[in-house]
Amino acid sequence: MNILKFFTAGSVDDGKSTLIGRLLYDTDSILADQLEALQNSNRKNDDGTIDLAILTDGLRAEREQGITIDVAYKYFQTEKRKFIIADTPGHIQYTRNMVTGASTANLAIILVDARNGVVEQTIRHSYLVSLLGIKHIVVCINKMDMVDYSEEVYNSIIDRYKILAQQLKLVDVNYIPVSALKGDNIVQNSERMNWYNGESLLHFLEKVDTDNLDKSQLARMPVQWVIRPQTEELHDYRGYAGRVLSGTFNLNDKITILPSGASSTIEKIEFFDRSPNTAHAGQSVTIHLKDDVDISRGDTIVNASALPQESKLIEVDLCWMDGRALDTSIMYLIQHNSKVTKCKINEILYKIDINTLEKHPADEFKLNDIGRVIIKTADPLAFDLYDDNRSNGSAILIDSRTNLTVGALMFRAAVE
Amino acid sequence: MSTYNFDYLDELEAEAIHILREVAGQFEKPALLFSGGKDSITLVRLAEKAFRPGKFPFPLVHIDTGHNFEETITYRDKMVERIGERLIIGSVQESIDQGKVVEQKGKNASRNALQTITLLDTIAKYEFDACIGGARRDEEKARAKERIFSVRDEFGQWDPKRQRPELWNIYNGKIHKGENVRVFPISNWTELDVWNYIRRENIELPSIYFSHEREVITRNGQLMAASPFLNMDNEDVVFRKQVRFRTVGDMSCTAAVESEATLIDDIISEISESKISERGARMDDKVSEAAMEDRKKGGYF
């Protein structure tokens, strides 16, 4: 059994919270006391049934306003898989929350209201999914009960969406007609839409094959911590602890340490009481090298045959996440995995109107703005392009005045 | 490409180890909050996996309400001896004696709320800049929205509206002096995940997690262990029941569940079928719908 992390884009009006509530409810993932709290709540649907959306509204302000403000994580599992849902708000003022939720997801569910079809919001959400490099997409045409479960309506919406998908270069796009409110095609296949021959949403989620970072040739491990017991019996012990971001490391592999460029060979891989021959993507391990080289936190161990890019000038997509606008005159901190260095925004190339996908020249970046900039870092970063290797192609910007995370960065090119 | 079996427990474990090592790398004076419950016991195992054969780069800190289950303290002391790490105890009784907090009165009196003050005092005394805790997002609605690195101001307060975005697996632990960060490495685990992990790793637990016969009373529809810490009167009828505890908290606020589960396998099947969530057995959450959110804003774990 493995884990599927997915995120849901859509607003309250599209029935997003109802959809998640329905998944939890129909997979028996709501426990009795939660259900009791739900039934005692005074929010009900028009027909008197429980408003399942309440299950995902966590904070008091959200309950008062009946909307999702922050990213909420929800968990459920079936016999086939464990699921982690990042439930994010859909309105444009919460773009940063959507970007946050999408950053760790392998799959995105995009909700389209069958009555409205592909609207501005659909374009925005789909753009964010493409920006964040989510490979698998399920477009749920929701509220089919409101359009008499019409196949024509469904077909016209997916025809329109296919044009958008092409424009955004989305690869694996799947379509499912659903009614979250009535439960059609969520867990069980709906009898009210016999014209639909595909799977229910849950069955699809259970079997979709997500990316295996292990397939990547780009073996990368940022060093988080150097283990040095310095006891008598372990006097010379020096282990480099970190999590393999991508690819695999094998015993006797030739490796390079960046940024120093020093090289060595893997002598031993340790995982607590075991010494495996291989460390795979996703695993947290400790690596020992044959040579005594100077390595500390922030350095990255990579396979010598597939080196990352190394540059101080990088073209990146930037999503601005702070109430205080970007200031090109000051220095920020950039955190790329375990490496932190100073950074400036050298040039703003353009901003993108995420409702229309048009690019505009810009000289400022405010909350929720997205566009392309060139950054200059104090120390060189050893990175991959985001599309090649998400985990080594992303970073955050920190405002050292407030220590807040103010920007999400996706590396697009090294600037020569 | 070689194939390998990396299942969901491996993935959760690897993520938690990564988070623990980030704490070690980013903070000067971290601490691991150890309650003696299964979640913090799991954290200790994860810390062993993250840092052995080195020492932990942090001490364990136990906020002792003085109303503990005896079994928990026995377990704690034995475990600390086994792992050879430093234990710091923050005492709620001491906070009461110093007049910093006042014991609650009445039938539902508990020291659970008082812990917050002792915790904040302990953080201030040792100047901890990060406190690792075993909270999980599946426990409660407010927790579902909390970050893995959760910044608290110098009053220990959590401000849900000012949370930092947490992107990819990058954790921003930068803080100003006086602030500290609560870190939750097992945020993405569910109760069942924790139990499955404990089974897989063969981790020993305090005996109160397993079925045993105990003197109890009924309070607000729940079974409470009869103890000198509970304000009882003539209306309270003490009787014996076969019970176990699903969480380990203060004796005055942790309810027992009727159970015959003596083995970990029994517990896992019991939870799989159970219709009461874990925090349902915590009276401290029952006060209002926003109980946990309010306590977290006040500095609770």
Q: What is the pLDDT of residues A186-242, one digit of tens each?
A: 998 999 999 999 999 999 999 998 765 556 789 999 999 999 998 888 888 999 999
Cross-chain residue pair B174–A237, CB shorter than 8 Å = no
B89: pLDDT strictly greater than 70: yes
Q: How far is B281 from chain A (nearest CA, A)?
A: 10
Contact across the interface for A31 and B276, Cβ inside 8 Å:
yes
Verify that A8 and A110 share a domain, yes or no. yes
Phi, psi of A195 (to 5 degrees): -70, -15
Q: Do B280 and A33 touch (CB under 8 A)?
A: yes
Q: How far apart are CA A159 and CA A131, in angstroms?
A: 22
CB A167 within 8 A of CB A148: no
Please judge whether B145 and A71 are an interchain contact, meaning their C-beta atoms are less than 8 angstroms apart.
yes
B280 contacts in chain A (CB < 8 Å): 31-33
Q: Does position B295 have pLDDT exceeding 80, yes or no?
A: no
Tokens of A247: 């690819």
Chain B residues whose CB is inside 8 A of the A390 CB are 168
Residue A155: burial class (beta carbons within 10 Å; 0-12, 13-18, 19+): middle
Cβ(A369)–Cβ(A351) below 8 Å: yes
The mean of the pLDDT values for chain A is 89
Tokens (6 digits) for B144: 């579902």
Q: What pLDDT score was predicted for residue B206?
A: 92
Query: How far apart are the CA of A114 and the nearest CA of chain B, in angstroms?
Result: 30
Residue A320 to residue A397: CA distance in whole angstroms: 9
Smallest Cα–Cα separation from A282: which of A226, A381, A211, A228? A211
User: Cα(A95)–Cα(B214) distance, rounded to whole angstroms?
Assistant: 53
Chain B hits for A234, Cβ within 8 Å: 53
* Backbone torsion region of residue A136, taken as left when φ is above 0, otherwise alpha when ψ lies between -120 and 50, otherwise beta: beta
Name the residue in chain B with its Cα closest to that of A334: B172
Range 18-47 of B in CB contact (< 8 A) with A: 18, 21-22, 24-25
Question: Residue A54, SS3?
Answer: helix
CB contact, 8 Å: A103 with chain B? Answer: yes
| Pairwise CA distance, residues A118 & B279, whole Å | 42
Query: Cα separations (Å) of B45 from A271, B16, B24, B29?
Result: 13, 11, 16, 20
Contact A344, A378 (CB under 8 A): no
Q: Are the beta carbons of B12 and A238 closer than 8 angstroms?
A: no
Per-residue confidence at B287, pLDDT binned at 50, 70, 90?
very low
Q: Are residues A149 and A275 in the same domain?
A: no
Q: How confident is the model at residue A95, as a pLDDT?
A: 86
Please tell me which of the candidates B52, B168, B275 has its beta carbon nearest to residue A394.
B168
As given in the structure block, the two tokens for residue A296 are 């500390």
State how far the Cα of B115 lies from the Cα of B96, in Å rounded to an integer.
10
Q: Would you call A58 and B168 a contact, using CB atoms and an 8 Å cutoff? A: no
| pLDDT band (50, 70, 90) for residue A316 | very high
Nearest-by-CA chain B residue for A72: B145
Task: Clarify whether residues A254 and A345 are in a common domain.
Answer: no
Same domain, residue pair A264 and A132: no
CB atoms within 10 A of CB A40: 8
| Higher pLDDT, residue B286 or B35 | B35
Q: Distance between CA atoms of B192 and A124, rounded to whole angstroms?
A: 37
pLDDT at B284 over 60: no
Rounded CA separation B153/B299 (Å) = 9
Per-residue pLDDT at B2:
42
Judged by CB atoms closer than 8 Å, whether chains meet at A72 and B145 is answered as yes
pLDDT (tens digit, 9 = 90+) per residue, A365-408? Answer: 999 999 999 999 999 999 999 999 999 999 999 999 999 999 99
Mutation target vs A (from B2, B5, B11, B21; most A CBs, 10 A cutoff): B21
CA distance A128 to chain B (A): 14
Radius of gyration of chain A (CA): 24
Give the three-class secondary structure for A245.
Answer: coil
Q: A161 falls in which pLDDT band (50, 70, 90)?
A: very high
Question: Which single residue is written with the structure tokens 């989510």?
Answer: A134
Asked if the Cβ–Cβ distance from B25 to A224 is below 8 Å, we say yes
What is the per-residue pLDDT for B288?
47
What per-residue confidence (pLDDT) applies to B197?
96
Interchain contact, B10 vs A241, CB within 8 Å? no
Token output for A141: 């045409």
Please tell me the predicted confidence (pLDDT) of residue B91: 82
What is the Cα A94 distance to its own chain's centre?
15
Instruction: Tokens for B221, please give them.
Output: 């529809």
Q: Which residue of B48, B187, B290 is in closest CB contact with A272?
A: B48
3-state secondary structure of A161: helix
A55 and A84 in a single domain? The answer is yes
Q: Does the beta-carbon distance from B21 to A284 stay under 8 Å?
A: yes
- Contact between B17 and B55 under an 8 Å Cβ cutoff? The reply is no
At position A98, the amino acid (one-letter code) is M
Average pLDDT over every residue of A49-58: 64
3-state SS of chain B?
A: CCCCCCCHHHHHHHHHHHHHHHHHHHCCCEEEECCCCHHHHHHHHHHHHHHCCCCCCCCEEEEECCCCCHHHHHHHHHHHHHHCCCEEEEEHHHHHHCCCCCCCCCCCCCCCCCHHHHHHHHHHHHCCCEEECCCCHHHCCCHHHCCCEEEECCCCCCCHHHCCCCCCCCCCCCCCCCCEEEECCCCCCCHHHHHHHHHHHCCCCCHHHCCEEEEEEEECCEEEECCCCCCCCCCCCCEEEEEEECCCCCCCCEEEEECCCCCHHHHHHHHHHCCCCHHHHEHHHCCCCCHHHHHHHCCCC
Reported as a single tens digit per residue, the pLDDT across A253-310 is 999 999 999 999 999 999 999 999 999 999 999 999 999 999 999 999 999 999 999 9
Within 8 A of B184 by CB-CB distance, chain A residues are none
Q: Is the same domain home to A15 and A123? A: yes
> Min CA distance, B192 vs chain A (Å)?
10
Identify whether residues A268 and A330 lie together within a single domain.
no
Of B54, B280, B289, the CB nearest to A228: B54
Q: Judge if A268 and A191 occupy the same domain.
A: no
Domains of chain B, by residue range, sit at: 8-193+290-297, 205-283
Nearest by CB to A70, from B6, B49, B160: name it.
B160
Check whether the bond before B160 is cis (ω within 30° of 0).
no
Chain A CB contacts of B22 below 8 Å: 224, 338
pLDDT score recorded for residue B1: 38
A67-78 confidence digits (pLDDT tens): 556 788 888 888
Confidence (pLDDT) at A61:
55
Q: Tell if the CB–CB gap between B138 and A75 is shorter than 8 Å.
A: yes
Q: Which of A142, A81, A153 is nearest to A109 (CA)?
A: A142
* CA distances from residue B219 to A119, B224, B254 in whole angstroms, order as listed: 54, 7, 11
Amino acid at the residue A143: K
Q: Give residue for tokens 């009828």.
A: B237
Question: Is pLDDT of A41 > 60?
Answer: yes
Is B167 within 8 Å of A32 when comparing Cβ atoms? no
Q: Tell me the mean pLDDT in the region A123-151.
A: 94
Tokens of B167: 């992107």
The mean pLDDT value for A298-323 works out to 94
Asked if residue A230 and residue A170 are part of one domain, the reply reads: no
* Nearest Cα residue in chain B from A5: B188
- Chain A positions touching B17 (Cβ under 8 A) are 243, 284
Q: Which of A57, A280, A338 sits opposite B4 (nearest CB)?
A: A280
In terms of CATH architecture, what is B8-193+290-297?
A: 3-Layer(aba) Sandwich (3.40)
Q: Is there a contact between B210 and B244 (Cβ–Cβ < 8 Å)?
A: yes
Contact assignment for B49 to A284 by CB distance below 8 Å: yes
Structure tokens at B230: 């509970």
Cβ pair A325, A364 in contact under 8 A? yes
A206 at interface of B, judged by CB pairs closer than 8 A? no
pLDDT score of B286 more than 90: no
Pull the structure tokens for residue A109: 């569910």
Tell me if ipTM is over 0.85. Answer: yes
Residues comprising chain B, all counted = 301
Output B61 or B284, whichever has higher pLDDT. B61
Measure the CA–CA gap between B110 and B126, rounded to whole angstroms: 26
Residue with the larger pLDDT of the pair B222 and B173:
B173
Of A82, A321, A400, the CB nearest to B165: A321
Q: Where a domain ends, among A211, A246, A279?
A: A211
* Domain enclosing residue A263, as ranges: 215-303
Is B52 at the interface with chain A, CB within 8 A? yes
Please check whether residue A280 touches B, CB under 8 A: yes
Q: Does the pLDDT of residue B69 top 70, yes or no?
A: yes
Which residues of A178-308 form beta strands (DSSP E)?
220-222, 225-227, 239-243, 248-250, 254-258, 262-270, 278-280, 284-289, 300-303
Q: What CATH number is attached to the domain comprising A181?
A: 3.40.50.300
Minimal CA separation from A158 to chain B, in Å = 30
Using a pLDDT cut of 70, give the percent of chain A over it.
Answer: 89
Residues 229 through 268 of chain B touching chain A, CB cutoff 8 Å: none
Residue B8: which of A3, A297, A398 has the nearest Cβ?
A3
Same domain? For A149 and A293 the reply is no
Interface of B with A in 181-220 (CB under 8 A): 187-188, 190, 192-193
Question: Rg for chain B (alpha carbons), in Å?
Answer: 19
Tell whether B53 is within 8 A of chain A (Cβ).
yes
Calculate the alpha carbon distances from B96 to A75, B35, B103 in Å: 39, 19, 7
Return the minimum-mean-pLDDT range out of A31-40, A161-170, A299-308.
A31-40
Whether pLDDT at A58 is above 60: no
Contact B275, A32 (CB under 8 A): yes
The answer to whether residues A265 and A395 belong to one domain is: no
Instruction: For residue B10, count other CB atoms closer than 10 A to its CB.
Output: 20
The number of folded domains in chain A is 3
CB–CB contact A72 B7 (8 Å): no
| Separation CA A227–CA B48 (nearest Å) | 12
**Predicted local confidence at residue B213, as pLDDT:** 93
User: Nearest Cβ partner of B165 from A61, A100, A229?
Assistant: A100
pLDDT for res A216? 74
Residue A142 to residue B115: CA distance in whole angstroms: 47
- What percentage of residues in chain B have a pLDDT greater than 90? 45
- Given pLDDT bands bounded at 50, 70 and 90, which one contains residue B82? very high
A290 and A340 co-located in one domain = no
Closest CA in chain B for residue A82: B8
Q: Which residue of chain A comes nearest to B24, CA vs CA?
A: A225
Instruction: Please identify among residues 151-170 of chain B the ones whose CB lies closer than 8 Å to any CB of chain A.
Output: 151, 160-161, 163-170
